[in-house]
A and B are shown apart, each in its own frame.
Chain A
Amino acid sequence: MQKKGRYGKYGGQYVSETLMSALIDLETAYGKIKKDREFVRELAAFQAEYAGRETPLTFCPNASDELGCRIYLKREDLVHGGSHKLNNTLGQALLAKRMGKKRLIAETGAGQHGVATAIVGAALGIPVEVYMGEVDTKRQALNVFRMELMGARVIPVTSGTRTLKDAINEALRDWVANVRETYYLIGSVVGPHPYPLMVRDFQSVIGKEARRQVMKKEGRLPDTIVACVGGGSNAMGIFYPFVKDDVELVGVEAGGEGIDTGKHSATLCAGEAGVLHGTLSYLLQDDDGQVLPTHSISAGLDYPGVGPEHSMLKDSGRVAYTAVNDPDVLDAFRFLSRKEGIIPALESAHAVAWVIKNADRFDRDDIVVINLSGRGDKDVAEVAAMQGRF
């Protein structure tokens, strides 16, 4: 039998002793609400009336023509807040409220999870504090302002590499010190059990809808589903309901400036098993087990770890993990904007880039679903600056 909180050999609960009671409480509380009809109804109502679900599965005629297959986008960019992140924060915040927690803390990279946490904090009346690497507060200044506008406090993190990894370190330190009143709302399928399970469950709404929608539109399952992978929550969300089907699943990591340059965040492509932030999973590390600095054009993928379930799916071969580099991502960002009038987040543009680069392998009738996990408005200023505008 599979051990609790394990995905093959991966997963587990590698945390300091102070947090164990909190994880045990969380596991119990989540186990209860999962089967609670009232909770399920409450979450569904928020999803429909507040978040804007279900999101469309949009057929892209122009991109399909250009690339020679049938391309659909699962439009998580249309979820309130601009990304799939709200699917998870709604679920966890409603849980936190039931647990009587008085304060939410979160980490954020691109700022999308921070924004999604600020949203639920405002909507449910729970104070929110968000840890964000100082580097990211600068490259995603607009999201910092959005969080503050909704009443959240953003705490810039100046330790270590000043990006997402260090924001998680600081959030964990805060949680240890304030564990009785505080709920740590993790934004991806990472961290100690039960987080990877819980976040996957809340994000699976993406795949469940997509499955229903593609069956209705095409009368069959897609040939290929593509999603970007940082921590891996949007990918887990769309993959999970298809794992047992005959559907090709592709996870696209951030190749940055190229895996051979060392400046990338392609954990599954280039890492090895290790323990960070409470979980055993693939990890970018040096010969001594020190965690390596990462690079990606998209702050949301700039993370040296990855969800433990992805590690298992890589080892079993069920999901193909690959990487695309920054220049291809920028091309994809422009391609989708121009062809379809949809500006993708730089994170999601990784998935688009993979399809563009691999267009040759598809036939006209092949159905390819890309999880468009977020919209690119947050990235527009940075891309403009790269082009020497503003």
Chain B
Amino acid sequence: MGRIEAVFSRRKKPAFIGFTVAGDPDKETCIRAAMALINGGTDILELGVPFSDPVADGPTIQKADERALAAGTKIDTVFDIVRELRKKTGVPIVFLAYYNMVYHRGIDRFYKEAHDAGVDGILIADMPVEESGDVYETARRYGIDPIFLITQTTSDERIKKIASRAHGYLYLVAVLGVTGVRDTVSSGAIDLLQRVRKQTAVPLALGFGISTPGHAKICAEAGADGIIVGSAIVDIVERNQGNPDTMVQDLKTYVEQMKKAL
């Protein structure tokens, strides 16, 4: 059983999946921030691989990508961060990447290096299931879970196709739009959860726009297997760039509060 599957099979309440951008604001602080998330109770860590043109992301994560790149983060740095984290934790690590980062390095090389470093899953934001043939086979060969997105505009027919390739969990996009903090969890998100549930037994995690304990509670009550929080975490990193000690404390407290609501 893979690390991601193990999280969902032994869980008693929904998993908390926390996202931060690898190398934001720099390599060392990012490792401390990631460990703070894990110490606060994060069940799965998502690491964004910074990209120059993150079209699926809103301003918060775009700026985090820019900070990471300005700090000199390369793909090698991102793998270094994973290797450092693997010395300290067995929590599953999932990459969120844009396809050019993978394609340019070579699909096989990227997945092999990811596997060797200790990555458990990879989601490519601009890779719909129709284009995922090579990536899917490579991921399976290296025992990495290919994670796919499902959104409110995904037809039932395509949900079936995506679910048939899903491993680890399915990432359900709670809003129409890019990443970023929002005030409420839309009713569309709950409808989507129920629609996908009918088609698959793969764990379903809701993300995009989820930031408060109130949101976490709504998702848990609707039967989500996990919630994914990105921009709210990146906000804390951004606010405390100059003060890593406060950052670490705030991140841990934030995750603890969110976990309590689940």
A contact set with B: CB distance below 8 Å:
12-22, 159-160, 165-166, 169, 172-173, 176-180, 272-278, 280, 283, 285, 288-291
Contact = CB atoms under 8 A, between A and B. Distances in A.
B130 A291 contact: no
A173 B100 contact: no
Contact of A288 (B58, B101, B155): B101
B131 interface: yes
Contacts of A160: 52-53
11 contacts: A13-B130, A14-B128, A17-B149, A17-B150, A160-B52, A165-B53, A179-B176, A275-B98, A276-B53, A280-B103, A288-B74
Contacts of A19: 153
A159 B177 contact: no
Interface of B: 51-53, 55-56, 58-59, 62, 69, 74-75, 98-101, 103-105, 125-128, 130-131, 148-155, 158, 173, 175-178
Contact of B158 (A12, A20, A176, A177): A20
Contact of B151 (A17, A166, A280, A289): A17
Can you list the 8 inter-chain pairs with the closest CB atoms, starting with the nearest?
A: A289-B104, A177-B177, A17-B149, A21-B153, A18-B151, A290-B52, A275-B100, A291-B52
Contacts of A273: 103
Contacts, number: 106
A176 B175 CA distance: 10
Nearest to A159: B62
A178 B126 contact: no
Contacts of B176: 18, 176-180
A158 to B, nearest CB: 10
Contacts of B58: 173
Contact of B126 (A16, A173, A272): A16
B46 to A, nearest CB: 16
B23 to A, nearest CB: 12
Contacts of A283: 100
Given A16-B55, A177-B176, A22 B100 contact: no
A371 B79 CA distance: 48
Contacts of A12: 131
B53 A179 contact: no
Contacts of A278: 126
A60 B244 CA distance: 68
Nearest to B158: A20
A178 B155 CA distance: 17
A291 B55 contact: no
Nearest to B150: A17
A291 B55 CA distance: 13
